[in-house]
Structure 1
Amino acid sequence: MDSTTTAALPPVTDAHHWRRQLDELRIREKAATRELDAIAAQRRRLPMVEMPDYVLQSADGPVALADLFQGRRQLITYHHMWWPGKDWQCPGCTGFTSQFTRLDFLDPYDARFVIVTQGEIGEALAYREKVGNRMDWYSTHDSPFGADVDAPPGGGFAVNVFLRDGDKVYRTWHTNGRGTEQLTHTFPLIDLLPYGRQEEWQDSPAGWPQNPTYEGWGGSEDIARLYGPGHEE
Structure 2
Amino acid sequence: MNKHPTGTREQWLKARLELLEAEKELTRRGDALARQRQALPWVHVDKDYRFETETGSVALADLFQGRSQLLVYHFMLGPDYEAGCPSCSAIADGFNGIVVHLTNHDVALTAVSRAPLSKILAYKQRMGWTFPWASSHGGDFNYDFNVSFTEEQQREGDIEYNYERSTHAMEMSPPPEPVVQFATCCGTDVKTYVRDKPGLSAFVLHEGEVYHTYSTYARGLDGVWGMYQWLDRAPLGRNEADGVWWRRHDEYATR
Give a deviation string over 1:124-162, Cα, whole Å, max 9, x none: 111111121221110111211111112225220110000
Taking structure 1 as the reference length, the TM-score comes to 0.83
Offset of 1:62 from its aligned partner? 0.8
Taking structure 2 as the reference length, the TM-score comes to 0.76
Kept in 2: contact 1:55–1:63 (CA 8 A): yes
Give a deviation string over 1:96-141, Cα, whole Å, max 9, x none: 1022122111133211111000101111111111121221110111
Q: Say whether 1:219 aligns with 2:219.
A: no
Q: Give the secondary structure class of the aligned counterpart of 1:195.
A: coil
- Counterpart in 1 of 2:28? 34
Q: Say whether 1:162 aligns with 2:203.
A: yes
Offset of 1:72 from its aligned partner? 0.4
Give a deviation string over 1:61-80, Cα, whole Å, max 9, x none: 21010010011000000011
Kept in 2: contact 1:46–1:172 (CA 8 A): yes
Which letter does structure 2 place at the counterpart of 1:180?
A: L
Kept in 1: contact 2:48–2:59 (CA 8 A): yes
Which letter does structure 2 place at the counterpart of 1:89?
A: G
* From 8, 20, 39, the counterpart of 1:14: 8
Q: Distance between the aligned counterparts of 1:19 and 1:94, measured in 2?
A: 38
Gapped runs of 5+ residues in structure 1? 1-6, 201-210, 227-233
Q: Distance between the aligned counterparts of 2:65 and 2:17, measured in 1?
A: 46
Q: Distance between the aligned counterparts of 1:63 and 1:85, measured in 2?
A: 23
Map 1:167-186 → 2, pairs under 5 A:
167-186=208-227
Q: Distance between the aligned counterparts of 1:20 and 1:220, measured in 2?
A: 39
Which letter does structure 2 place at the counterpart of 1:28?
A: A
Kept in 1: contact 2:78–2:196 (CA 8 A): no
- Counterpart in 2 of 1:46? 40
Q: Distance between the aligned counterparts of 2:196 and 2:19, measured in 1?
A: 38
What root-mean-square deviation, in Å, do the aligned CA atoms of Structure 1 and Structure 2 show? 1.8
- Counterpart in 2 of 1:113? 109
Which letter does structure 1 place at the counterpart of 2:129?
A: N
Kept in 2: contact 1:76–1:159 (CA 8 A): yes
Identity of aligned pairs, percent? 31
Q: Say whether 1:187 aligns with 2:228.
A: yes
Kept in 1: contact 2:80–2:115 (CA 8 A): no
Map 1:83-102 → 2, pairs under 5 A:
83-102=78-97
Length, aligned pairs only: 207
Q: Distance between the aligned counterparts of 1:87 and 1:115, measured in 2?
A: 17
Kept in 2: contact 1:74–1:163 (CA 8 A): yes
Kept in 1: contact 2:199–2:217 (CA 8 A): yes
* From 56, 69, 74, the counterpart of 2:69: 74
